[in-house]
Amino acid sequence: MSKNDFYKKLEDVVRTGKAPYVIESGQGAYLTINGKKKLNFCSSHYLGFAEDQRLKTAVKKAVEKYGVGTGYRTLAGTHTLHLELEEAIAKFKGTEASVVFSSAYMANAAAIQTIIGKEDIVISDELNHASIIDAVRLSGVKNKFIYKHADTSDLEEKLKEAQKVQKAPKSDGEEPLILIVTDGVFSMDGDLAPLPGIVRLAEKYKALTMVDDAHGEGVLGKGGRGVVDHYGLVGKIDIEIGSLSKAFSVIGGFIAGNRTLIGYYNLKARQRLFSIAPTIPDTAASLEAIRILQKSDAAVKKLWENVNYVRNEFKKLGFDTGNSQTPITPVMLGSDEVAKEFSTRLFDEGVFATPIVFPMVAKGAARIRVIPSASQSRKDLDVGIKAFEKIGRQLGVIK
């Protein structure tokens, strides 16, 4: 392929792509898009921290004292705030230690690539997030098993197959490691991984467990401590991945777990060794968000009040909201075209809620993914509910 043909191929893709909406305001209960106010009904700023004055003040104080930039953790980038944040995360999660990264995507990559070699074994839920899929690819592991979504019976079958593979020692003579990987909350449907069953099987087959809890932090468990706490399994999961960009409304991710394991990641994770540490503003804001949740669960309670209200109202109207157990509320529409048209009409009604279509979900499973926020009032929620009712009737989705 010539250079001209290569760029022509890229142009064809770019031309047919859709430019994203540009946000001209903070990520609060409402957004400003094209100069107009829109109800924010689909972002994952669950607790409303994106515009919380306490986080703003913490950032201002930290920047005044320390500036903005950091550096490589292994050279001159480890700051006292990073150590405070890692200690706070470990305490919050109930683990021995934690290590932070510039994103949860990087944390997932580090968690798998650092401990899994080509001759080890990974068993993954079929609906795991793209960052987990990419992390497994990055590790170069040859022995990969995919189990049916949230199906512990199928997981056990895959573990039995993995045990057979495990009988053949690696080239260095060691026994292959088995790692079970799952999302904690599945972001498209809002359902939960069956962690109690996964832990039971992991113990039975002597496998390590890893949970990506990006959409569980600040949402599930006591005071928002996540899906592991929700199930009462603190200390039973080997590797917990968390995101600071969802409920905490900042940028960053972390791995939490056993002190020895975290020490190994500190020394060996390439995503830590060769990438810049989180900035001073991001670190200070994350630290403040965790401190807020350690002091009070008010924001978490408000979030769930809003979620339950919206979901109940949608069900009364006749919308299919799936089987979500989290604030992620999918309004199932089936057709990609209907979902896109529904979203466009919502936008015209002053409600921002983007369509989720193929390939993000399977064909025939298009939906609008609604996520209320703790920052929204009952009046705000009613704006969104009324818009959904109006358009649902217009498009024949509800009667």
Q: Return phi, psi of residue 72, to 5°.
A: -70, 135
Residues 170 and 40 in one domain: no
Say if CB 272 and CB 86 are below 8 A apart.
no
**Residue 246 C-beta-side C-alpha neighbours within 13 Å:** 25
What are the distances in angstroms from CA 216 to CA 162, 187, 243, 317?
29, 10, 9, 28
Q: What pLDDT is attached to residue 48?
A: 96
Catalytic residue among 45, 79, 82, 246: 246
Domain interval for residue 84:
53-295
Based on the domain organization, do 187 and 307 belong to the same domain? Answer: no
Q: What is the pLDDT of residues 160-218, one digit of tens each?
A: 999 999 999 999 999 999 999 999 999 989 999 999 999 999 999 999 999 999 999 99
On whether both 122 and 185 belong to a single domain, the answer is yes
Catalytic residue (choose from 43, 98, 139, 187): 187
- Measured CA to CA in angstroms, residue 192 lies from 64, 248, 333 at distances of 41, 20, 22
Read off the pLDDT band of 399 (50, 70, 90).
confident
Query: Residues 156, 301: one domain?
Result: no
- Is 246 an active-site residue? yes
pLDDT at 13 over 90: no
Does the pLDDT of residue 16 top 80, yes or no? no
Percentage above 90 pLDDT, the chain: 92
Region at 324 (left for phi over 0; alpha for psi -120 to 50; beta for the rest): beta
Neighbour order of strands in the sheet with 355-356: 329-334, 366-370, 355-356
Helix, strand or coil for residue 66? helix
Look at residue 138 and tell me if it is in a domain.
Answer: yes
Residue 222's nearest CA partner among 304, 306, 286 is 304
Here the CATH number for the domain that contains residue 149 is 3.40.640.10
Cα dihedral 264, 270, 276, 282 sign: negative
Computed over every residue of the chain, the mean pLDDT equals: 96
pTM here is 0.94
The answer to the question of residue 6 being in a domain is no
Q: Can you tell me which residue has the tokens 């990055």? A: 138
Tokens of 347: 């936008």
Strand partners, 211: 182, 240
- As for how many domains the chain has, the answer is 2
Residue 144, domain member (yes or no): yes
Residue 262 inside a domain? The answer is: yes
In a domain, 8, yes or no: no
Do the domain assignments include residue 154? Answer: yes
* 25, 31, 32, 38 alpha-carbon torsion, rounded to 10°: -170
Query: Do residue 103 and residue 188 come from a single domain?
Result: yes
Sign of torsion over alpha carbons 38, 44, 45, 46: positive
Closest CA to 251 of 293, 286, 219: 286
Does one domain contain both 95 and 196?
yes
Rank 7-11, 19-23, 239-243 by mean pLDDT and report only the highest: 239-243
Return the CATH number at 355. 3.90.1150.10
- State residue 14's pLDDT score: 86
pLDDT tens digits along 288-339: 999 999 999 999 999 999 999 999 999 999 999 999 999 999 999 999 999 9
* Tens digit of each residue's pLDDT (9 = 90 or more) over 238-274: 999 999 999 999 999 999 999 999 999 999 999 999 9
Contact, 258 vs 117, CB < 8 A?
A: no
| Catalytic residue chosen out of the listed positions 79, 215, 230, 302 | 215
The neighbouring-strand residues paired with 40 are 352
Q: Are 399 and 393 a contacting pair, CB within 8 Å?
A: yes
Confidence band for 155, pLDDT divided at 50, 70 and 90: very high
- pLDDT of amino acid 303: 98
Q: Indicate the residue among 253, 269, 295 that finishes a domain.
A: 295
d(CA 156, CA 269): 30
Instruction: Dump pLDDT digits (tens) for 49-108.
Output: 999 999 999 999 999 999 999 998 888 889 999 999 999 999 999 999 999 999 999 999
Do 131 and 226 have their domain in common?
yes
Q: Is the dihedral of CA 218, 222, 226, 230 positive or negative?
A: negative
Same domain as 367, residue 234:
no
Residue 361 has pLDDT above 80, yes or no: yes
In a domain, 27, yes or no: yes
- Contact between residue 355 and residue 369 where contact means Cβ atoms under 8 Å apart: no
Same domain? 252 vs 106: yes
Give the pLDDT confidence score for residue 199 in this predicted structure.
98
Residue whose C-alpha is closest to residue 152's, from 97, 195, 211, 114: 195
Question: Does residue 159 contact residue 201 with C-beta atoms inside 8 Å?
Answer: yes
Both 314 and 209 in one domain: the answer is: no
Please identify, among 295, 310, 325, the residue that sits at the C-terminal boundary of a domain: 295
* Edge-to-edge strand list for the sheet holding 178-183: 97-101, 253-257, 239-243, 208-212, 178-183, 121-125, 143-147
Per the structure block, which two tokens stand in for 329?
A: 């509320």
Domain limit, last residue, from 270, 295, 320: 295
What's the confidence (pLDDT) of residue 18? 75
Residues 359 and 382 in one domain: yes
Looking at the fold, whether 69 and 173 belong to one and the same domain comes out as yes
1 domain residue, yes or no:
no
Residue 371 · residue 44 · CB < 8 Å: yes
